Each structure stands twice: as structure tokens, then as C-alpha cells.
Amino acid sequence: MNKRFEAIRSSLRNTEFFFIGVLVFVILSISMLLMIYIPSVARIVSEGAEAEISSATLANSYTADTYFRNKMSFLEAAASEFRKIDTADTEKVLETLRSIHANSQFRHIGFTGTDGVTVSSTGSVENTSNRQFIQAGLAGNATVSPHVTCDFDNTYCDMYTVPVYNDSGKLIGALTGDDEQFEFTEIMLLGIAGDKSCYFIFDSMGDVIYCSPGNSAGIGHADNLLAAIDDEVVSKDIGFLLNSLNRSAVKRVSINGVEYIASFMGVLNDEWTFAAIVPAETGYSSFTGLVVFTGFLIAILSLLLIAALIVVAVRIRAVKHDVSDFVGESEQLLYTDSLTGGETIALFREKYAAAMADTASEHALISLDVDRFKAVNDVFGFEGGNKIIRVISDIIARSIGRDDFFARSSGDLFYICAEFGDKRELCELAERIMSDVEYQITEVHLSLSIGIYMIDDKHIRSRVAADRADMARETAKNSKDSSYAFFDSSMLERIRREKRIEDIMEDSLALGEFRVYLQPKYSLGSQNEVVGAEALVRWNHDGRLIPPGDFIPLFERNGFVTKIDYYMFEEVCKLQKKYASLGFTPKIISVNMSRLHIHKPGFVDELAAMCDKYGVETKYIEIEITESAAFENMETLREIFRQIKSKGFHVSIDDFGSGYSSLNMLKDMPVDVLKIDRSFLTEKADENEDASIIISCVVMLASHLDIHTICEGIETQVQADLLTKLGCEMAQGFFFARPMPVPDYEKLTYGLGEGK
Ligand code: C2E
Ligand code: MG
Ligand code: MG
């Protein structure tokens, strides 16, 4: 039924699910991205580290290679000096050695003859034939011998040996130069930071020839490294290793539980091998830092994002509660009538739509309001009026059937949707409500108007159905016979006709189609003469004379009646002026004034001004105001009567006794004439004792209050006689004269036009 609210609620629920979904999705996405990102960054970083170490190894091996080669090249060049001298001449050899030494970076230079005797640049002569590097040189090999003791000063040194040939290419000895031990720290151009990094140079046997001072990694002999690289490589054949590693290889190894990156490069025509060993973590520590930093950043961002999402989720939850409360309250407001606590018209419409879907049952839409409810409000105040509306609401709630429903639309207007089997049930429902209202509301006599539309087409929208019930209700309101009426299509015709009237009424007034008819009033008793007249409007349209009953009620509703009243009043002024100017004493003509004037400020002044305009004395005009005006505020009415009288007009209460006015209202009410309603009279008036008693009482009371009486609607001699007998002073009715055109009245009253 309340689909809109259900839709809002479910949309709120969905928003929550959607949000939780988004949250889960975001968290999963971030986790997956991290899972992909971190390993790939680590891989990139690791490859970067390996490449870095590899290029460092290349550069350093090249540096070492150049270092050794330069020394060897110097010695090889120096060896050619001995071709020209007699090597048996020790003095000559010494001189040559000293000259070479002066230009070299070697600590000592020595020449060893084929006999194994070495002459040194220091001047010493020793037999060194037992030294391996001497034997290698004399065997024709150029060698670098690291870590050997120097024969000249007994310190450790690196010994460089080259063979010496004479011009004919015959080996004549070996030239040696000793140098301080090779120092990695001095030559390394490109290093990789870290105490745990170290450099080795292996000889072809796998023995460590040179080792960087930071050999703290506990690698020791190359065997450890070789074994770490490959379990199967247990031989000391570093060439095999290099071949297996593809010469310039980078290998990850684990030594004593520490992971290293090892890089290899051949030196001195691959006779030796240069190896750089760097702990893996040192190798890419900067990259690891980057990874850690990036991971940290992502983690922080993720946490912030998740925190933001949680905050938003909490906020959404709070808003959801607020909205939910709001929806609940709106629903309450929308569906509960604050005045009666019953259902509102919005809910009624929704229920109506659902009821129309049920094609099996017959439904009627009933429109119900209180007659002249405004007067009830005026008399009892708003709170009093509201109380009455609540009582009516309760009565309806008790009267309708289980599947029926109703709502207050506005003010005192209610709609009921009732199921029925028989038209009679609807009549009974209307009568039950009316009688309960009459029975329960005792403070004031209330009458209801009820319109019933038996829904003949289930597709008709609630508004249209309500309009039809309203038309029936209006008909009931205007009917004197019944307080409820059923809609029939002729009402639609009436509405159309009224619309047509409204379209032309202004023009008709301007064209003078509204005419004054006058119905003479007679004195009762012996004279029976015309004492005045009542002005009654007629609408002469399209050659037809339309009686006021056909348009005055409509004009009362749309307010146009006030214009008609002024028009009639002005016409009457003109007539009275005419009669006065003809020398007659004008007989009083009464003009009907709608109760709509009562609330118009300046209304009485306008009437007086009109009389002034035509120079008519106000005492020749009587203002008729219907008894029903008493439903307006009595104080206002009294004040208006007082004003009318103060201007010199006569005042009469029209249709007295037709409604619910009490005799009490006459008290303090400055009126001149009481027009007793014709409803008191029956055809056989003399036989109706009750009516006679009431009329005689009214007449007596009026004469007591100095108020004149006239009876309307006298149609028979019997009625005229009865009224005369009851003391009524004047009479008006078809028995004496019908409402007539002005010329007829003038002829009757003043004898005008008789001569024509
Ligand atoms: P009302 O003011 O009570 O006027 C008397 C009505 O009773 C007139 O009806 C008149 O023709 C009718 N009548 C007079 N004698 C008899 C009779 O013996 N038997 C019957 N059955 N009826 C009689 P009318 O002219 O049709 O006017 C109806 C009502 O329309 C008037 O009732 C009055 O309330 C209203 N009305 C007429 N002209 C005006 C007007 O200019 N302004 C306003 N505001 N209302 C007017
Ligand atoms: Mg009247
Ligand atoms: Mg009347």
C-alpha cells in the first residue's frame, strides 16, 4: 500500500549493501594489487641488483687485469734491454738493472741467469734457482706470483717474472720485479658498499690469490664458494666453474645461511678469476628500502582509504537511521490525519486504487459534510468545531463495514469508500450516520449533506469519483427533501449548465437581461390593500424567463449574487424615485440581500449612497435578509441590522421558521418585519392545529417586540382567513398577486398606465 515508503526503505537497504560491497571490493583490490606489486617490484629490484653487481665485477676485473698487465708489460719491455749486453758481465747487468729500476714502480728488479743466480738492483747476488717463479721464468713463462717472500728484504710481495731472450731468440734468463701486495681497496673503482662484501681473485687451481680485506663473510677458501654455487662442482677447476657459469655469470648462493650474489669475471686471459660476493640484502638494500617505503605508503593509503570508507559507512548508517525515522514520521504525517487520528486522504486514494482492483465487489464513494459548518466554528470556536469533526469521524468509523474505509479530506468534508450489495444498504449507512450525529451532538442541531456515487466503472480515478459524489452532495444540500442524494448523470448536465450560466452571467447583467418583478404585499383584515411589494429577480434569456431558483443558488456559491442584489436595489431606487417624482408616496419595496453581504465592509454605506444618488428616502426601502443568515455570527448580524436601521431602511427577516432559527434570535435584533415562511401553511391550513399555534405564537411574540408580521405564500382564501384570524398583519402570495412585471405593479398600485 505504501509503495513509495517501501521503495525508499529498500533503496536505503540496497545503499548499505552496495556500500559494503564497495568496501569489500576496495579491500580485495588493494590486497590483490599489493600481492602482484610487491613481488614484481622485488623481482625488478633483484634483477637491478644483480645487474649492478655484474657491472661492478666487470669494471673491477678490468681494473685488476689492467693493473697486472701494466706491470708485466713494463717487465717485458725491460727484458729487451738485456739483449744488447753481455749477461755474464755482472757489472753491466747491475747497471742495466739500476737503470730499469729507476724508471719502474717495482721495489726491486732482478736478473736471473740460466744458472739460477740472480743479480738484484740492490747489488746482491744470490742463487734463487729453487724459487718457483724463477723456474717458471726460466721455463719461458711470464707469471705473477702473489704472496711470496722477497729474497732481498724478506717481506711479502707480489713477484712478476718474464723470460729474457737474446736477439736470436734464445732464452738467456728471467727478469723479475717485486711489488707490494696487490691491494683491492686501492684499485677498486666501482665498489658495492657493505662490510660483508668481498672480492677474490682465484688462480686456476681455485686457490685464493687475492682477497679483499673485508673477507669477513667467512667464505675463506674458494671451495666454500664453489660448493655453495654448485654441490657438484667440488673440483678446484675454476675454469670448469667459469664454463658452467658462462664466464660472466651472476649466481645467487647461500653460505652459512646468508644469501649472496656472486659475480665472476676472467682476469689475465682467464688464468685467474675475479669474483665479487655481495650479500643479497646489501645488493639491493636501497631498492629494498624503496620496496618497503612503497609498501608502507600503500599500506598507509589503504588504511586511510579503509578508514575513510568506514567513516562514510558509519555516516551512511546514521543518515539511514535519520532518513528511516524521517520516512516513518512522514508516513505518519502523510497517512494519519492529525485532527481525527484517522486516515488521510492520501492513504484513502491508495486504498481506493486497491479496492478498484477488486472487481468482484461493488463499491460506492460517499461524500459527506456538515451544513453551514462555518457557523458552527463561529459559535463554538475552532476547538469546538474540531471536537465536532472528531465525533463525526468516530461515528463514521463505527458505522462503516469491515472492508470499508474513510478519510477526512479538509475541514468538515469526509469521503467513505463502502462496499455494497444493494442500494438500500447505502441509504441505511447514510441514515445511520445522520441519526448518530443528531443523537450524539446535542450542543447544536447539525445537519449533514451526503452524496453517494455508486462506482459504475472501476477505472474511474478517485478524484473523478469524489467529484461525482460531491455533485450528489451539493444536490442533497440544495434539496429540501433529503439530506442525501445519489449521483446520476443528470447532475453532470446540471454542472455543465451551471458552467454555461457562469460563462454568460456577467454579459447578461450588462445587457439588462435580469429584470425586476414585483410581488405585491397586502394588508390583512378589512381593507385588504397593497401595502408594498417584494422585488424578485427574473432572468430573461433567449426569450425565456428563468426563475431565481435556477440560478440564485449557483450565484450564492460563486458570489455573483451580490452584483445581482446591487442591481436589483438600484432598479428599485429608480422606481421609488419615479413614483415619488410622480407625486406618489412610494409604497415600501423590499429587496432581498444575500447573506454574503454581511461580511462585506461598507455594504450598508453603499446602499445608502445609492439612495442618495437617486434622491430616494431610505424609509421606502426594506432589506430582506434570510433567517439562515443567523448561522453567521449573531453579533455581526445584529451589527449589520443596526447599521441598516440607522440609515433609515426597514429590515425584515425572510423565510422565518424555515430553518432552525430560534425565537431567541429576535431578542435585541433590530428588525421591523418578520416574514413567516410559507412552509407553515398547508392547503387545509385551518385543520393544522400545530401550525396555527406556532403562527399565533410567533405573531404574538413579534407584536410584543414591536415587530410587524407578514406571511408568505398565501394561496387560498382559507389561508388568508386563518392568518387574519391569527393576527398576522400582512400577506404575500399567489392568492393576492403573483410576482409581476413592473408595469403591472404600477398599474395595480398607482393606477399608472391605465389611460393608455
Ligand atoms: P423569497 O425571498 O422568499 O421570495 C418569495 C418567493 O416565494 C418567490 O419566489 C415568490 O415567487 C414565491 N411565492 C410568493 N407567493 C407564493 C405562493 O403563494 N406560493 C408559492 N408556491 N410561492 C410563492 P421566487 O421569485 O421564485 O424567488 C425565490 C427566491 O429567490 C426568493 O425567495 C429569494 O430568496 C430568492 N431571490 C429572488 N430574487 C432575489 C434577489 O434579487 N436577490 C436575492 N439575494 N435573492 C433573490
Ligand atoms: Mg424574499
Ligand atoms: Mg421568503
The 10s digit of each residue's pLDDT in 51-61 is 777 777 777 77
Res 590: pLDDT: 98
Is 462 in the same domain as 504? no
Residue with the three cell numbers 441598516? 644
Res 627: pLDDT: 82
Is the minimum distance from the CB of 93 to ligand 1 under 6 angstroms?
no
Q: How many CB atoms lie within 10 A of CB 685?
A: 22
Look at the chain and report how many structural domains it folds into.
3
CA geometry: angle 361, 365, 366, nearest 5 deg: 135
On whether residue 189 sits in a domain, the answer given is no
Res 235: pLDDT: 42
Helix (H) or strand (E) holding 699: helix 689-704
Is 503 in the same domain as 394? no
Is 448 in the same domain as 563? no
On whether residue 55 sits in a domain, the answer given is no
Is 112 in the same domain as 136? yes
Interval between CA 627 and ligand 3 midpoint (Å)? 9
Taking residues 412-438, report their average pLDDT.
96
Question: Is the Cβ–Cβ distance between 233 and 243 less than 8 Å?
Answer: no
Helix (H) or strand (E) holding 159: strand 156-165
Atom in ligand 1 nearest the alpha carbon of residue 715: 18
Closest-CA residue, ligand 1 atom 10, reads 739
Is the minimum distance from the CB of 262 to ligand 1 under 6 angstroms?
no
Is the minimum distance from the CB of 156 to ligand 1 under 6 angstroms?
no
Question: Is the Cβ–Cβ distance between 161 and 174 less than 8 Å?
Answer: yes
Whole-number Cα distances in Å, 244 to 143, 154, 238, 248: 26, 40, 9, 10
Res 256: pLDDT: 63
pLDDT bracket for residue 217 (50, 70, 90): very low
On whether residue 538 sits in a domain, the answer given is yes
Closest-CA residue, ligand 1 atom 8, reads 536
pLDDT bracket for residue 479 (50, 70, 90): confident
On whether residue 681 sits in a domain, the answer given is yes
Interval between CA 534 and ligand 2 midpoint (Å)? 7
The pTM of this model reads 0.55
Closest-CA residue, ligand 1 atom 25, reads 536
Q: Which of 592, 623, 716 to mutate to test the pocket of ligand 1 (most atoms within 8 A of CB)?
A: 592
Q: Which of 168, 388, 182 is nearest to 272 (CA)?
A: 182
Is the minimum distance from the CB of 548 to ligand 1 under 6 angstroms?
yes
Q: Which of 448, 412, 446, 417 is nearest to 431 (CA)?
A: 448
**How far is Cα 94 from Cα 573, in angstroms, rounded to an integer?**
168
Interval between CA 711 and ligand 2 midpoint (Å)? 11
Is 456 in the same domain as 533? no
**How far is Cα 681 from Cα 660, in angstroms, rounded to an integer?**
17
Residue 638, C-alpha cell as written in the block: 445584529
Q: Which of 446, 460, 386 is nearest to 417 (CA)?
A: 460
Is the minimum distance from the CB of 568 to ligand 1 under 6 angstroms?
yes
Taking residues 597-607, report their average pLDDT.
92
Closest-CA residue, ligand 1 atom 37, reads 536
Domain span holding position 132 = 85-179
**How far is Cα 169 from Cα 171, in angstroms, rounded to an integer?**
6
Is the minimum distance from the CB of 520 to ligand 1 under 6 angstroms?
no
Is 525 in the same domain as 551? yes
On whether residue 688 sits in a domain, the answer given is yes
Q: Which of 265, 259, 324, 334 is nearest to 46 (CA)?
A: 259
Interval between CA 535 and ligand 2 midpoint (Å)? 8
On whether residue 431 sits in a domain, the answer given is yes
Residue with the three cell numbers 738493472? 97
**How far is Cα 515 from Cα 564, in angstroms, rounded to an integer?**
10
Is the minimum distance from the CB of 547 to ligand 1 under 6 angstroms?
yes
Atom in ligand 1 nearest the alpha carbon of residue 675: 3
Top pLDDT among 127 and 282 is at 127
Find the CATH number of the domain harbouring 407: 3.30.70.270
Atom in ligand 1 nearest the alpha carbon of residue 555: 44
Helix (H) or strand (E) holding 49: helix 3-79
Is 539 in the same domain as 483? no
Taking residues 483-497, report their average pLDDT.
90
Alpha helices in 80-131 (DSSP H): 90-103
Please name the residues in contact with 493: beta carbons below 8 A apart, sequence gap of 6 or more: none
Q: Which of 514, 515, 516, 518 is nearest to 748 (CA)?
A: 518
Top pLDDT among 143 and 285 is at 143
Find the CATH number of the domain harbouring 546: 3.20.20.450
Taking residues 283-296, report their average pLDDT.
65
Interval between CA 519 and ligand 1 midpoint (Å)? 9
Closest-CA residue, ligand 1 atom 11, reads 739
Is the minimum distance from the CB of 592 to ligand 1 under 6 angstroms?
yes
Interval between CA 739 and ligand 1 midpoint (Å)? 9
Is the minimum distance from the CB of 654 to ligand 1 under 6 angstroms?
yes
**Which of 179, 197, 219 delimits the end of a domain?**
179
- Tell me the backbone φ, ψ of residue 372, rounded to 5 degrees: 50, 50
> Is the pLDDT assigned to residue 273 strictly greater than 90?
no
Is 577 in the same domain as 709? yes
Res 631: pLDDT: 62
Is 425 in the same domain as 483? yes
Res 663: pLDDT: 72
Interval between CA 342 and ligand 2 midpoint (Å)? 43
Interval between CA 689 and ligand 2 midpoint (Å)? 26
Atom in ligand 1 nearest the alpha carbon of residue 591: 41
Is 635 in the same domain as 657? yes
Is 583 in the same domain as 556? yes
Question: Is the Cβ–Cβ distance between 109 and 76 less than 8 Å?
Answer: no
Taking residues 342-350, report their average pLDDT.
93
Q: Which of 617, 728, 740 is nearest to 673 (CA)?
A: 728
Per-residue pLDDT tens digits for 185-216: 666 655 554 555 667 777 766 666 776 655 44
**Which of 127, 146, 179 delimits the end of a domain?**
179
Closest-CA residue, ligand 1 atom 42, reads 592
Res 313: pLDDT: 77
Residue with the three cell numbers 398599474? 747
Q: Which of 478, 522, 536 to mutate to test the pocket of ligand 1 (most atoms within 8 A of CB)?
A: 536
Interval between CA 734 and ligand 1 midpoint (Å)? 11
> Is the pLDDT assigned to residue 756 strictly greater than 50?
no
Interval between CA 592 and ligand 2 midpoint (Å)? 5
Res 218: pLDDT: 47
**How far is Cα 532 from Cα 521, in angstroms, rounded to an integer?**
5
On whether residue 706 sits in a domain, the answer given is yes
Res 386: pLDDT: 94
Residue 468, C-alpha cell as written in the block: 461525482
Question: HSE-up of 414 (CA within 13 Å, CB side)?
Answer: 32
Question: Is the Cβ–Cβ distance between 406 and 469 less than 8 Å?
Answer: no
Instruction: Identify the top-confidence range among 20-34, 171-185, 298-312.
Output: 171-185
Please name the residues in contact with 53: beta carbons below 8 A apart, sequence gap of 6 or more: 192, 250, 261, 263, 276, 278, 283
Top pLDDT among 723 and 25 is at 723
Is the minimum distance from the CB of 622 to ligand 1 under 6 angstroms?
no
**Which of 465, 487, 509 delimits the end of a domain?**
487
Is the minimum distance from the CB of 536 to ligand 1 under 6 angstroms?
yes
Is 465 in the same domain as 503? no
**How far is Cα 137 from Cα 144, in angstroms, rounded to an integer?**
10
In 3-state terms, what secondary structure has residue 120? Answer: strand
Whole-number Cα distances in Å, 257 to 9, 15, 50, 218, 522: 63, 55, 19, 11, 139
pLDDT bracket for residue 272 (50, 70, 90): confident
Tell me the percentage of the chain whose pLDDT exceeds 70. 86
Res 541: pLDDT: 94
Find the CATH number of the domain harbouring 103: 3.30.450.20
Helices and strands counted in the chain (H then E): 20, 26
Per-residue pLDDT tens digits for 672-717: 999 999 887 775 556 677 788 888 999 999 999 999 999 999 999 9
On whether residue 608 sits in a domain, the answer given is yes
Question: Is the Cβ–Cβ distance between 134 and 161 less than 8 Å?
Answer: yes
